[in-house]
C-alpha cells in the first residue's frame, strides 16, 4: 500500500515537471524541471526492483547530463537583455501527431498479451546478478560501449575546442 502511494507520488511529480518543460519559456526552468523528472524516474526504477538502474540514473543523468546541459545553457544564452528565452512553434501539428501516437500506443497495449503476464517476484541480490550478467553474457556490448565512450570523449573535446586552422596559412 505504501509502495503504491510512493509510486503515484513519483508519477505525479514527473508528469508535472514534463508539463513545466512543455509550457514555460525559460530554458533554465526547463532544465530544473527535467532534473525533478529524472529523479522521480529513478525512484520508479527503484520501486521496479532495478536498483542498479536507479543509482545509475541518479549518477549519470542527474549528476552528469543535467550539469552539462546547464553549462550549455549558460554558455549559449546571452546573460544581458532577453536571457534564457525560448519560443515555440508548430503547436497544432505537433499536438496532432503526438496525440495520435499516444492513441496508437494505448490501443496496441490494450490488444496485446503483455498485460496478462503476472510478475514472479525476482528474489535475491539484483545488483550482484547485474554484475555477473554484465561480465559474462553481455561482455562484448560492455567493451563496445567503453570504446564508444572513448570515441565520444575525443569527438566532443575536439568539436568544442577552438583550435585554429594553422595549415591553411
Subset of residues 60 to 99 that bind another protein, contact rule: CB under 8 A: 60-61, 64-65, 68-69, 71-73, 75-77, 86-91, 93-95, 97-99
Q: How far is CA 14 from CA 10, 131, 156, 157, in A?
A: 6, 29, 30, 33
Interface positions, 23-42, toward another protein (CB under 8 A) = 27, 30-31, 34, 37-38, 41
Which residues, including other chains, have CB under 8 Å from residue 45's CB and lie 6 or more apart?
51, 53, 54, 57
Tell me how far, at minimum, the Cβ of 26 lies from another protein, in Å.
Answer: 10
Report the 10 Å Cβ neighbour count for 47: 13
Query: Alpha-carbon distance 61 to 44, whole Å?
Result: 15
Footprint (CB under 8 A) of another protein, residues 109-148: 109, 114-115, 117-120, 122, 126, 129-130, 133-134, 138, 141, 145, 148
Size of the site for another protein (CB under 8 A): 80
Instruction: For another protein, give the closer residue by CB, 159 or 167.
Output: 159
Amino acid at each position: 500500500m505504501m509502495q503504491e502511494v510512493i509510486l503515484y507520488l513519483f508519477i505525479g511529480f514527473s508528469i508535472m515537471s514534463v508539463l513545466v518543460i512543455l509550457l514555460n519559456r525559460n530554458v533554465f526552468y526547463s532544465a530544473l524541471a527535467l532534473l525533478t523528472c529524472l529523479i522521480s524516474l529513478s525512484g520508479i526504477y527503484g520501486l521496479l526492483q532495478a536498483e542498479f538502474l536507479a543509482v545509475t540514473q541518479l549518477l549519470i543523468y542527474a549528476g552528469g547530463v543535467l550539469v552539462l546541459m546547464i553549462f550549455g545553457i549558460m554558455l549559449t544564452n546571452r546573460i544581458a537583455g532577453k536571457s534564457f528565452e525560448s519560443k515555440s512553434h508548430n503547436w497544432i501539428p505537433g499536438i496532432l501527431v503526438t496525440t495520435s501516437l499516444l492513441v496508437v500506443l494505448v490501443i496496441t497495449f490494450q490488444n496485446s498479451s503483455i498485460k496478462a503476464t503476472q510478475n514472479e517476484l525476482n528474489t535475491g541480490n539484483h545488483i550482484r546478478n547485474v554484475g555477473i550478467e554484465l561480465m559474462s553474457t553481455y561482455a562484448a556490448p560492455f567493451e563496445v560501449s567503453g570504446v564508444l565512450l572513448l570515441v565520444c570523449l575525443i569527438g566532443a573535446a575536439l568539436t568544442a575546442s577552438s583550435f585554429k586552422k594553422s595549415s591553411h596559412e
